Structure 1
Amino acid sequence: MQFKGAFSALVTPFRNGEIDEEAFRAFIEWQIEQGIDGLVPCGTTGESATLTHAEHGRVIKICVDQVKGRVPVLAGSGSNNTLEAIELTRYAKEAGADGALLITPYYNKPTPAGLVAHFKAIATEVSIPIVVYNVPGRTALNVQPATLKAIKDAVPEVVGVKEATGNLKQVSEMIELCGEDFCMLSGDDFTVLPLLALGGCGVISVVSNVMPAAMSGMCKAFAEGDIATARKLHYHMAPLCRALFSETNPIPVKTAVSMMGMCTEEFRLPLVPMQPDTRAALEKVMLESGVLNTEELAEATA
């Protein structure tokens, strides 16, 4: 299976309104050193909604170039406009990405037949492994298990789904209908371990921006049958999971990465910095979790 284990949905570092290539390359290198299984540039966590098309292509190119084939790169390239999604997916393929992560069209609320037609149109124009991204909290549309099977059957390029409903009943039905060879990736850091138990193959994670070794380690431990270690890592990450979703993603995770000195605490509107109380709570959890020490924090905030 091509997309297996822990994939980090990477933050996109900015500096003075521009992509901070140096920080991005260093962050990617650190992720690989920490044992991450794959990387996802230009996802929701990467603030893709506010990247220009040129920036979108550049971020993917930087990631592919820095990775140099050491781990798979699954590039975000979705849109609610099918023609735009084709263009962004073409950028991803030309940049050398191993696959494309395509969100279901948001706002439009297409019918099941429209979803099948959307993914089929993209794959017809750009043949690349595709992972469907189902996140009703952002799209106002939930891909039902039968619809996912219809997409899979109609579009051979669709090899998996990033399931971000947190609904394990739905996950189970999707795996039942689509088969164990279909890659079920969690899009919800809170439910990775139970999703793996149902037959999932991994996660596209926010938390692994900060704890790549722990998230990757949990997936590996489960795959090796070491359930006790997997459970221990699940609970070790739980406080950070809660803190990183105390405000809209990716505000807390980019703040956390900046506390670690790996990027500036810079967002694009309409996202703004964390509120003082939630920021303080995040800082406390990071110190207690051991991913940050007081010296690093002082240096990063100096």
Structure 2
Amino acid sequence: MFRGSLVALVTPMKADTSLDWDALDKLVEWHLEQGTHGIVAMGTTGESATLDREEHLAVIRRVIDVVNKRVPVIAGTGANSTREALDLTASAKDAGADAALLVTPYYNKPSQEGLFLHHQYIAERVALPQLLYNVPGRTAVDMGPEVVERLSMLEHIVGIKEATGDLQRLADIKARVSDDFCLLSGDDETGLAFMEAGGHGVISVTTNVAPRLMSQICELALGNDFSAAQALDARLQSVHKNLFLESNPIPVKWAVSQLGFGANALRLPLTGFEQGLQPQLRAAMQENGLI
């Protein structure tokens, strides 16, 4: 089972938007030193939508090599084409990933049955643990608890990243799946409440800039010390909020660059973090001793 604070890792770039491999190596090592429990490479926060297939897989391989089995590495392999998602998932398995994270097919708005068949198709063909990823605010499709229940019964589908921020949704899913089905939050602001309600951890944007605090919060929550976890999480709420002043990963890419990991560079159509908003995020980071 995947548990605790798993970082939705940014992909460092140079000013010309080429991949910054040295910064990536240093960033991964920093997360391991800071106590991050797992690394998600090439998710939304990693700018998977603007990297080509070769770059996408190269980043996954590089993270796997640097981590060297010290924590689990989960590869983002979702796509709005089932064939493309299958190819990426099989390639991630070949690279040595511990699991794949597959976002629901975006833009083309499949039916609930289409979502089931999409994930079933991949699960039946790639013998790698697979995590579903439901984030309707970005994909324009919402995977319902009934589909999650059906998919949870398939071999290789081991959990879900549920990013609606709706704790009732967690309760609905939890009532339908087995106890060993992994339940991960994809919403930092409600991540602790998600764990208090029976979740196992968070795939987190905030962990990019506050890895030690996020790992401590998750460890406390998983140890049922919720009062101590709440005290730390209350401090971080300003960071959670300000990391979404613009679309993810625009603010967090800027924040990570302030920590010295790569330039504040994103590929079009993403643009740099608005200068007028930067002081708010900087202040939140300073309040928490992050810079």
TM over 0.5: yes
Q: Deviations over 1:216-243 (max 9, x none)?
A: 1111011222222111111111010111
Contact 1:209 1:257 in 2 (8 A): yes
Runs of 5+ unmatched residues, structure 1: 293-302
Q: Secondary structure at the match of 1:109?
A: coil
Structure 2 match to 1:242: 241
Structure 2 match to 1:197: 196
Structure 2 match to 1:210: 209
Shift of the alpha carbon at 1:14?
Answer: 1.0
Contact 1:74 1:101 in 2 (8 A): yes
Distance in 1 of aligned mates of 2:110 and 2:58:
30
Shift of the alpha carbon at 1:11?
Answer: 0.3
Q: Secondary structure at the match of 1:191?
A: helix
Shift of the alpha carbon at 1:124?
Answer: 2.2
Distance in 2 of aligned mates of 1:12 and 1:227:
32
Distance in 2 of aligned mates of 1:159 and 1:147:
14
Contact 1:159 1:182 in 2 (8 A): yes
Matched, 1:269 2:268: yes
Q: Deviations over 1:91-111 (max 9, x none)?
A: 211110000000011112111
Structure 2 match to 1:161: 160
Contact 2:185 2:199 in 1 (8 A): yes
Q: After TM superposition, where is structure 1 displaced by more than 4 Å over at least 4 residues in a row?
A: none
Distance in 2 of aligned mates of 1:18 and 1:275:
21
Letter in 1 for 2:162: E
Corresponding pairs, count:
290
Q: Deviations over 1:143-166 (max 9, x none)?
A: 11111101222x221100000001
| More off after superposition, 279-288 vs 214-223 | 279-288
Aligned ranges 1:1-302 → 2 under 5 Å: 1=1, 3-15=2-14, 16-153=16-153, 155-292=154-291
Letter in 1 for 2:55: E
- The TM-score with structure 2 as length reference comes to 0.98
Contact 1:115 1:151 in 2 (8 A): no
Identity within the alignment, %: 46
Distance in 2 of aligned mates of 1:220 and 1:51:
33
Contact 2:79 2:103 in 1 (8 A): yes
Distance in 2 of aligned mates of 1:215 and 1:92:
27
Shift of the alpha carbon at 1:280?
Answer: 1.7
Shift of the alpha carbon at 1:263?
Answer: 1.4
Q: Secondary structure at the match of 1:162?
A: strand
Contact 1:171 1:195 in 2 (8 A): yes
Q: Deviations over 1:117-154 (max 9, x none)?
A: 1111112221110000000001111111111101222x
| More off after superposition, 33-42 vs 195-204 | 195-204
Distance in 2 of aligned mates of 1:230 and 1:107:
37
Runs of 5+ unmatched residues, structure 2: none
Aligned-CA RMSD value = 0.9
Distance in 2 of aligned mates of 1:251 and 1:30:
21
Q: Secondary structure at the match of 1:65?
A: helix
- The TM-score with structure 1 as length reference comes to 0.94
Shift of the alpha carbon at 1:54?
Answer: 0.2
Distance in 1 of aligned mates of 2:82 and 2:281:
38
Letter in 1 for 2:248: N
